[in-house]
Amino acid sequence: MTRAHAREFESFAAFYPYYLSEHRDRTCRRLHFAGSTVALICLLMSVITGNAWWLAGAVVSGYAFAWVGHFGFEKNRPATFRHPLYSLMGDWVMYADILRGRIPF
């Protein structure tokens, strides 16, 4: 599927290969992984401290790392802009796939 035709998807299973094609650059994937890890730490801190500001930190860190990866290294526009829910799901599936060694880190 070319980027020009990647507008609509019938399911997340149909979207995920496209999502991975938008994350071919290793540095971009590493930045996604780092941002997701920081986001998880922020979520944990929110639970531990009861301070909701950690939730903002989770959102900012997750997107900031990913967007630097896309604009600075992958040279594409994040899928979040076109497919926010599937993109969020893709972030966590890719995170798990990296942890399992299914995607090179």
pLDDT in tens, the chain (105 residues): 445 444 689 999 999 999 999 999 999 999 999 999 999 999 999 999 999 999 999 999 999 999 999 999 999 999 999 999 999 999 999 999 999 999 999
Say which residue the tokens 């019938």 belong to.
Answer: 10
The whole-number pLDDT of residue 7 equals 60
Considering the entire predicted model, what is its pTM? Answer: 0.88
What long-range pairs does 59-63 form, CB within 8 A, spacing at least 24?
A: 61/35, 62/35, 62/36, 62/38, 62/91, 63/35
Residue 37's pLDDT is what?
98
Whole-angstrom Cα distance, residue 99 to residue 93?
A: 10
